[in-house]
Amino acid sequence: MTRIQKLTPETTGKIAAGEVVERPFNVVKELIENSLDASATRIVLEIEGGGKRSIRIDDDGTGIAAEDLTRAVENYSTSKITSIDDIYRIRSLGFRGEALASINAVSRMTIRSMEEGAEVGREIHWVGGGIRSDGPFVRTVGTEILVEDLFFNLPARKKFLSSDASETRRIVAAVQGFALAWSQTAFVVRSNGREVLSFPAGTLEERVEMVLGPSVFPHLKQFSMTDGNIKVSGYASMPSMTKGTRASQFMFVNGRAVKDRLLGHAVRQAYQSIIPGDRFPIAVLMLDVPPDMLDVNVHPTKAEVRFENDRDIHRLVSSSIRGILEEKTVSFQDKVESVYKSIFPRDHGSSEVDGVSTPDSYTEPEAGRSDWLFQESPQPLFEKDSEKVRGQVSTGLYWQLHDSYIMIQIRGGMVIIDQHAAHERILYDQARRNVDGEKPAVQSLLFPATLELSPEEFDNFEKVVETLPGLGFEAEPFGMRTIIVRGIPAGVRNWDDGRLLRTILSDLGRGLPATDSILRSFACHSAVRAGEPLTLEEMESLTDQLFATEFPFTCPHGRPTMLRVEMRELEKRFQRTPKTEG
Ligand code: ADP
Ligand code: MG
């Protein structure tokens, strides 16, 4: 058996280096952080062979004092903190004092630096951590660091590196991230002598447009919100622009790029029920928090942080982004309201204030509106409305296509509504309000139904038993795996002797379902299906209620509920000019 031995400093150095430096990207990240910490206003990065052959960074920061240059590459040497408590005070990106030491241990490194006010700077060349040459050097104030042959002395690690192209992509993406967070600093990147990025110093807006590109920028909207000494700001995309991956979400905490689940979740939540679950919004999120509310020392490459008050932060991020999404919807809704008014030039539901017509029936849905589908409902809510409407709108203006789509003639053309998606949106909004505390309208069953559930369904029933009453289900356990249902939400159409509730329950899967997924499942299974014929009143009522929801244009899964076809479009397709006759 081999005896236990203490490792040589050379070996421990290489092991430690592996923590910080996994690939060229990590080197670049650490070097840029150092330049930014040194207040550089311009950073030039040149890589060769994806950074595997060489990485060179040049900055105009404060420089390193000649007498400190050997110390800079010693492990745990830093000018940024003196004790662990300092990391709760600092705003610098670095603090561990191990990056240069780690990089130095696994490469051939050269540093040339000159400090402000010095007459002469210094240049040192190391190989695998050992000094090979050392002498005076003169340059402008700032630092140049050259890292060659990364992992030349760790061949095993070297084998795990990817192709030049993919290492380059990672590096460029990292620089783009820094560029977003540090718009006042100019960045230039060259790869194998070719310039691949060049961002002059500018405002955040200019930088965001440059980094994300002119095709994306018009779909972004700025947000900003402050709560005490926490500030969140940035840009997020309208539902019109989403991506298939999270790659276009950039998050920074005090200028540090982070991959944070909490922040990611908060962004997701802002788009809840507005975009499909498998799409990702584009977002540049900057969070500024006092350093003492933050632990930056929880991850080897500092890519994660921990917040003292994560709930507040989650809420702030989510509501600031939700704010800009709702703004947009309101103005879009205004448009549809005018469209809608052209269908129903009615006088009810509007109040004249100073000559301005406010269609209040769209923004303040009355309780119990979901009764519309029950013909036998004691007070069909829109009876009065429908009568008035009938007087003004010829019945021919509503038409159901293949028992699935409602087509409505409007002044400028027509609107096509997907009846299932629209009803889903209505039921979802209703259920959301009910779960949030409004009293749901319940339809009592004349004969309470007993349902025998599968073990999984019963399991799920127990998990959501608290949420069900909010939706309008009056159900309770009734012996082993059996439940008794006395009431169901008013407005649900396909109760189907309990199949509806069973489907919702088995749909929830394992694990604790989030309220939102219960709501979506409920809305989806309860909604009128494609293929079901609707009466004229039902079509009217569905349309009416759809416009009363908060996000009428998408279903809770984010798919569109309606399309609009303009007369102009038809005229174009029939190659008519608006005046053509015959
Ligand atoms: P840390 O950034 O955690 O302090 P590093 O190993 O990255 O540790 O750097 C060690 C020290 O070298 C820094 O604290 C800083 O004083 C100095 N340094 C490194 N890079 C630069 C630079 N580009 N400009 C000025 N000083 C630098
Ligand atoms: Mg550093």
DSSP letter at 371 equals G
Q: What sign for the dihedral angle of Cα 143, 144, 150, 154?
A: negative
Calculate how far, in angstroms, residue 165's C-alpha sits from the geometric centre of ligand 1. Answer: 29
**Assigned token pair, 368:** 């119990």
pLDDT of residue 396: 52
Give all strands (DSSP E) within 364-518, no chain letters.
Answer: 398-401, 405-410, 413-418, 442-452, 474-477, 482-489
Calculate how far, in angstroms, residue 77's C-alpha sits from the geometric centre of ligand 1. Answer: 8
Q: Transcribe 522-535 into DSSP letters.
A: HHHHHSPPTT----
Calculate how far, in angstroms, residue 94's C-alpha sits from the geometric centre of ligand 2. Answer: 4
243, amino acid identity: K
Distances (CA, A) of 284 to 211, 237, 246, 249, 346: 11, 9, 12, 6, 44
Which residue from 28, 32, 41, 79 has its CB within 8 A of the most atoms of ligand 1, so it is best to mutate? 79
Q: What is the 3-state secondary structure (H, E, C) of 152-170?
A: CCCHHHHHCCCCHHHHHHH
**Assigned token pair, 181:** 């967070």
Radius of gyration of the chain (CA): 32
Residues in the chain, total = 582
**Assigned token pair, 258:** 């982070």
Of the bound ligands, which one is closest to the alpha carbon of residue 99? 1
- Residuewise pLDDT in 10s, the chain (582 residues): 678 777 777 777 777 666 678 899 999 999 999 999 999 999 999 999 999 999 999 999 999 999 999 999 887 778 877 777 777 777 788 877 889 999 999 999 999 999 999 999 999 999 999 999 999 999 999 999 999 999 999 888 888 899 999 999 999 999 999 999 999 999 999 999 999 999 999 999 999 999 998 888 988 999 999 999 999 999 999 887 888 888 889 999 998 888 888 999 999 999 988 887 788 899 999 999 998 888 877 777 777 888 888 889 999 999 999 988 887 554 444 545 554 454 444 433 333 322 233 233 222 223 332 222 222 222 222 333 333 333 333 445 778 999 999 998 876 778 889 999 999 999 898 888 888 888 888 888 888 889 999 888 898 898 888 888 888 899 999 888 899 999 998 877 788 888 899 989 888 876 666 778 888 888 888 898 898 899 888 888 888 888 888 788 888 888 888 887 878 888 888 888 655 555
Residue nearest ligand 1's atom 21 by CA: 34
3-state secondary structure of 73: coil
| 277 close to 288: Cβ distance less than 8 angstroms | no
pLDDT of residue 225: 94
Dist CA 151 CA 21 (whole Å) = 9
3-state secondary structure of 246: helix
Dist CA 167 CA 109 (whole Å) = 19
Residues with CB under 6 A from ligand 1: 30, 34-35, 38, 59, 61-64, 72, 77-80, 94-101, 143
How many degrees, rounded to 5, is the angle at CA 180 between CA 177 and CA 183?
135
Q: Which long-range contacts (CB under 8 A, 24 or more apart) does 343-348 make?
A: 343/393, 343/397, 343/408, 343/409, 343/410, 343/411, 344/389, 344/392, 344/393, 345/392, 346/385, 346/388, 346/389, 346/392, 347/388, 348/384, 348/385, 348/388
| pTM reported for the whole predicted model | 0.63
310 Cβ contact partners less than 8 Å away, ≥ 6 residues apart = 262
Label the pairing between strands 249-253 and 283-288: parallel
Query: Residue 485's beta-bridge partner residues?
Result: 449, 475
Q: How far apart are the first and last CA of the chain?
A: 100
Which atom from ligand 1 is nearest to the alpha carbon of 145?
23
- Write the Ramachandran bin of 131: left for phi over 0, alpha for psi from -120 to 50, otherwise beta: beta
Give all strands (DSSP E) within 258-354, no chain letters.
Answer: 280-281, 283-288, 294-295, 306-307, 351-353
Which atom from ligand 1 is nearest to the alpha carbon of 61?
24
Calculate how far, in angstroms, residue 193's C-alpha sits from the geometric centre of ligand 1. Answer: 26
Query: Residue 256's beta-bridge partner residues?
Result: 253
Label the pairing between strands 482-489 and 442-452: antiparallel
Of the bound ligands, which one is closest to the alpha carbon of residue 61? 1
Distances (CA, A) of 235 to 87, 286, 544, 549: 29, 9, 34, 26
Give 244: exposed, middle or buried? Use CB within 10 Å, 0-12, 13-18, 19+. exposed
Which atom from ligand 1 is nearest to the alpha carbon of 143?
23
